[in-house]
Amino acid sequence: MCGIVGYIGYRPAAEVLVDGLRRLEYRGYDSAGVACTNNIRLEVAKSAGRLDNLVKELAKRPLEGQSGIAHTRWATHGAPTDINAHPHTDCTGTIGVVHNGIIENYLELKAWLIEKGHKFSSETDSEILAHLIEEFAVSSVGGGSGDAHGARLYKALTKALSVVSGSYALVVLDQHQPDLLLAARQDSPLIIGLGEGENFLASDMPAIIKYTRRMMVLEDGDVAVVGREKVMVQKLDGLPVERHLFIVDWDPGRTEKEGYDHFMLKEIHEQPAALRAALAGRVGFDTGGKHLPKLEQVLPASVAAACREAVFVAAGTAYHAGYLGREWWRRWTDLPVQAELASEFRYHHPHLDRHSLVVIVSQSGETADTLAALREAKRRGAVTLAVTNVVGSSVAREADYVLYTQAGPEIAVASTKAYTSQLACLALTGIYIASTRGEMDQNRAAALLGELLALNGVMREMIPRLEPEVREVAVEWGRTADVYYIGRGLDYPLAMEGQLKLKEISYIHAEALAAGELKHGTLALITEGTPVVALATQPQLFDKMVSNIKEVKARGAEVLLLTGENNRHRPLVDVADKVIYLPEVDPDLMPIIAAVPLQLLAYYAAVNRGCDVDHPRNLAKSVTVE
């Protein structure tokens, strides 16, 4: 994994490919490469490290041609080196391949190919694809036209795919056939962009949206032949298929920084607009003028009524959103509700049936563990609802129902606006289910919906007011080794999200605890000057939180307290070293706005430490391998 771009058309291919890779940097990577052909030779350039290293290499040795492939790699097999970077080529150097995914039986295939006389250059599993295509193409080699060569190449690719086990999104470039690219997909996303006299391939839409809005998503088992003027898609058995063409309505400018220093900061500031978009058209009024949820088109009322349990399944930040969703739904409905880590879900032997609603939460819709959990839930007969940001993604296509968060493109690896949009959608869905089942009073539902709709305005006012305060704390804590986050009730999953943000972009070790657990071990780690972030947004738990804060203060902790404006009258000078007061909204919805200062704290701590905020080391935006 991580990012794929392919181009065939009339432009200089290398320029288009590098531009596409630049737009995929948010996915995270450790090396990059490009291959182009001009019918005379296939040329490859690749470099470990940042994309700028590849750009410097291309400045010294430009690649010619109007067709090519490119890749940013995040190492899974082999170290992040020039040699292990994609594209990989066969023994003759005439067939180039870029690949996302994992070839599970590559060791056996590599041994077989070595016996056949193939010599390998890299440590990767991906290189075997180029050699397999070469091996199967040689077995049917002969004279003839370019079309005949293209047919042999296609047959060689399909034969190669028939012997590999694992996941792949791949694009093949051949020196002798510069007028076509071959592509295939299995359990890893791949998109075709349709232009005029040119066509594109990419693992994610931002790579090519500058050039075309007409997109086609390949499905598992698809093999595509992409020329300048036409595209043909078949299944591995040769059966032709048609894939839905859709128009992407994103503004390409939304994938640019627009004056912000980093995409993450831009996306933090975009959250008010993202919240509004998440709820747009999904809240209406009853005959008495009260707010009511309008999700019948997303999840039929009959499904909500038949539900006897709900399970949230997700990974990373999306899991924290699902955890909050669990707490909300437990409060608002009479359903038993669980939250599971996607990577562990299959091993817990879940007892599901047709009355189980499994809610799959994923920003990208391509997270491998989450997709596997979705398939396990469907295998066990559960009804599945996907909550995702990416139209046409794998979870969106495979789930029974889908609710798009409508947050727009999120470029930074650390999720911000997608997270709060997920929260808004999960809250809305919980209110809808509770109302549909008669488990929430109509007045309570209307009041919650009204506050949910107002959050974008509250957040828009709050961000510029709190940002300087948070920045000040982040600068003070920038060189600390450890930070602890504590909270109770709804604030506990919020603490989990806060600590994840801090450690993933600033590389500061952070830990989240249910505050009542401090005395069961972690209190031993609190010493003079240890930073502690205390979350106290729930009025009924405030006094208990103050007791926990005093426990850490007694051990010398330096405490940042986040709480509501209603506590401004309290004498908190002796409780916390710094207090950030949040606008008062319904306590159930406080975690949505309280997420923002935690994001800002992580952002400014990372900036102060000189970290690569948008592309943290060893991490990828879309984790498409298990």
The residues annotated as belonging to the active site are 2, 621
Which two structure tokens, joined as six digits, stand for 228? Answer: 């300048």
Q: Where are the beta strands (DSSP E) in 405-536?
A: 482-487, 509-514, 531-536
Q: Quick one: tokens of 574?
A: 């002796």
Closest CA to 126 of 86, 74, 79: 86
Q: Do residues 388 and 622 touch, judged by C-beta distance below 8 A?
A: no
Query: Shortest CA distance to 277 belongs to which of 432, 407, 396, 411?
Result: 407
Task: Look at the block and give the residue holding tokens 């949040």.
Answer: 582
Element (H, E) at 168: strand 168-174
Size (the chain), residues: 626
Q: CB-based contacts of 441: which residues, under 8 Å, 6+ apart?
A: none
In degrees, to the nearest 5, what angle opens at C-alpha 142 toward C-alphas 138 and 143?
140
Cβ–Cβ under 8 Å, residues 244 and 232: no
Radius of gyration of the chain (CA): 26
CA distance 206 to 299: 29
Residues 6+ apart with CB under 8 A from 464: none
Cα dist from 171 to 100, 101, 215, 225, 496, whole Å = 10, 12, 17, 10, 39
Bridge partners of 169, per DSSP, are 100, 185
